[in-house]
A and B are shown apart, each in its own frame.
Chain A
Amino acid sequence: MNGAPGDAPGDAPRDGGWTRDEMMTIAASRLLWNGCVCFVGIGLPSAACNLARLTHAPDLVLIYESGTLGTKPDVLPLSIGDGELADTAACVIPLPEVFAWYLQAGRVDVGFLGAAQIDRYGNLNSTVIGAYDQPTTRLPGAGGATEIAAHARRTFVMLKASPRSFVTRLDFRTSAGYFEGRGNRGASGARGGGPRAVITDFGVLVPDPHSEELTLDALFPGATVAEARSLVGWPLAVGATVRGIDGPRADELATLRALQERTRAAHSADHSRG
């Protein structure tokens, strides 16, 4: 969830003149439909949602957990509570209402999640690497994620792939995906549908309808099954037919880059003196 899109080391433009971060953002934006109510996190999800709003889904309803409903930011927020989000919101409500009356009440169609680790059933860790009491790396923690994972009608996970992030066993389960698969989630009291897509560097994983194990469903242009397997820490299941995802269209790239350019200019402004 950290860092601006496009700044990852090694995220150089590909043959088509776009980066994998850009492709991830664009692929995620295409999963959103006009009018859907979307609970947004900072980073790639925020970029993806606003790209969708500025292209094919102008009536997308964005909710940030700071209580800004129906917000239409001109630049991407650095934090979940930037003034830009309040200035451009349809309304601003107290935070307890966002979680109790909107998310828990089932009024969110799509929740976006990131994490440090994911397992083959879409369970997520954003709390610690190592033991909880003596972590080697203390991560920020749950924030809104645990309840987004439980209550959004579906979740989309955006996470860059490496054997360190796509792991056989989580160090800590912060947010529930499909637990151990095969219908486990149904008995948990989680009312939302769980992770319907994981958007990562090489393409998209979706849960198998029976086992609920994440399965390679689609590849970005230039990505291969062998590359996908090399970046995933468990033996990756591959769907019977792996779709090819269309590369970025010119209008998608132009809109995304203009948004990020506005964002960079806004966040480097000096506010240290009144």
Chain B
Amino acid sequence: MPLLTLRAAIEQFVPDGCCAALEGFTHLIPFAAGHEIIRQGKRDLALVRMTPDLVYDQMIGMGCASRLTFSWGGNPGVGSLHRLRDAVEHGWPAPLALDEHTHAGMAAAYSAGAARLPFGVLRGYIGTDLARENPRIRSVTCPYTGEQLATVPAINPDVTILHAQRADREGNVVLHGIVGAQREAALAASALVVTVEEIVERFPPMMNAILLPHWVVSAVVHCPRGAYPAYAQGYYARDNAFYTRWDAIARDRTGFLAWMREHVLTPSAA
């Protein structure tokens, strides 16, 4: 397991046109990695995330994505993701193809991907027009009961990127708090990059605490505050005031681009 710089990890594992999942459900969102993807000018990415959040709003607004697989695309508790909306409603800065699901459907798709099964199955998508708009949502007849069940194709990203609290020198990763579908997204991917708050020599024996053993981790990046303005339980809190301010920053294209230039693109921000 190599310990890489953020720049090297993104150069190596996120080629143009790849399918990338930056997961983390509100907690431990890999913002720093998303910003490095923007700085490297990646294009034509097929992005996957249950909740696109501000990190994908920024990547979509900067033209990194051509496709989005998701299940809830808002600014939590605040309102819209204006850059996502602009891409869907007006094709700016580029058209964005949607592969839209529900949370339960995405969870099933990641779980199937982690198990290397072709599809996930659930009692889901009942009575929703989503199944009409997304031809990838289908159904299967249970061979035991005859019940019709919904299916979703497995999600197998080329690369999943996570942020975690700690890794050791061997590359074992621990994270705690809200864990979302991170384990499933990690094990569904061909490559797994983890940015961490802290690297320790070795973990004391903890039985259930290591979530991702070193031999499934492709690269670790030491990246303190790498989830900000989301949060890392035990390290720093979610900057709810910033999430609220983002609504005005992202509302128009000019203001958004100016903010990205100042805070993400300039060398001092890197």
- Residues of A at under 8 Å CB distance from B? 2-3, 42-43, 65-68, 77-83, 85-87, 92, 94-96, 99-100, 103-104, 123, 127, 132, 134-147, 149-151, 172-176, 179, 185, 188-191, 266-272, 274
- Residues of B at under 8 Å CB distance from A? 25-27, 50-51, 70-74, 76-81, 84-85, 88-89, 100-104, 107-108, 110-111, 122-130, 133, 147-148, 177-181, 183-184, 224-225, 228-229, 231, 233, 236-244
Chain B residues in 8 Å Cβ range of A42: 76-77
Is the pair A172, B129 in contact by a Cβ cutoff of 8 Å? Answer: yes
User: Which residue of the partner chain B has the closest CB to A81?
Assistant: B26
Bound complex: CA of A146 vs CA of B131, how far in Å? 11
**A78-B77, A143-B72 known; A83+B231 contact, CB < 8 A:** yes
Chain B residues in 8 Å Cβ range of A94: 179-181, 183-184
Is the pair B126, A82 in contact by a Cβ cutoff of 8 Å? Answer: no
Bound complex: CA of A179 vs CA of B25, how far in Å? 31
User: Which residue of the partner chain B has the closest CB to A65?
Assistant: B103
Among A87, A99, A103, A191, the one with the most B-chain Cβ atoms within 10 Å of its Cβ is: A99
User: Which residue of the partner chain A has the closest CB to B179?
Assistant: A94
Is the pair B243, A66 in contact by a Cβ cutoff of 8 Å? Answer: no
Bound complex: CA of A268 vs CA of B27, how far in Å? 19
User: Which residue of the partner chain A has the closest CB to B180?
Assistant: A95
Chain B residues in 8 Å Cβ range of A185: 127
Given A85-B178, A86-B233, A96-B108, 20 extra CB contacts under 8 A:
A67-B25, A78-B244, A81-B26, A81-B27, A99-B107, A104-B104, A104-B123, A139-B74, A142-B71, A142-B100, A143-B51, A146-B104, A147-B104, A147-B126, A174-B129, A179-B127, A267-B240, A267-B241, A271-B242, A274-B236
Bound complex: CA of A146 vs CA of B225, how far in Å? 34
User: Which residue of the partner chain A has the closest CB to B150?
Assistant: A189
Could you show 17 A-B contacts with beta carbons less than 8 Å apart? A65-B103, A66-B25, A78-B77, A81-B25, A94-B179, A96-B107, A104-B104, A132-B129, A140-B80, A142-B71, A144-B104, A174-B130, A175-B128, A176-B127, A176-B128, A179-B127, A189-B126
Set B104, B128, B238, B244: member contacting A174, Cβ < 8 A:
B128
Bound complex: CA of A266 vs CA of B129, how far in Å? 39
Chain B residues in 8 Å Cβ range of A139: 74
**A78-B78, A138-B84, A144-B103 known; A66+B128 contact, CB < 8 A:** no
**A78-B243, A86-B177 known; A150+B27 contact, CB < 8 A:** no
Q: How far is the CB of B113 from chain A (nearest CB, A)?
A: 11
Chain A residues in 8 Å Cβ range of B127: 123, 146, 149-150, 173, 175-176, 179, 185, 188, 190
Is the pair B102, A146 in contact by a Cβ cutoff of 8 Å? Answer: yes
Bound complex: CA of A250 vs CA of B144, how far in Å? 56
Bound complex: CA of A128 vs CA of B263, how far in Å? 32
Chain A residues in 8 Å Cβ range of B71: 141-143
User: Which residue of the partner chain A has the closest CB to B79?
Assistant: A2
**A96-B181, A146-B126, A176-B126 known; A82+B107 contact, CB < 8 A:** no
Chain B residues in 8 Å Cβ range of A136: 89
Bound complex: CA of A132 vs CA of B125, how far in Å? 17
Is the pair B237, A83 in contact by a Cβ cutoff of 8 Å? Answer: yes
User: Which residue of the partner chain A has the closest CB to B50?
Assistant: A95
Is the pair A147, B239 in contact by a Cβ cutoff of 8 Å? Answer: no
User: Which residue of the partner chain B has the closest CB to A131?
Assistant: B133
Is the pair B122, A100 in contact by a Cβ cutoff of 8 Å? Answer: yes
**A100-B107, A174-B129, A179-B127 known; A82+B240 contact, CB < 8 A:** yes
Is the pair B70, A141 in contact by a Cβ cutoff of 8 Å? Answer: yes
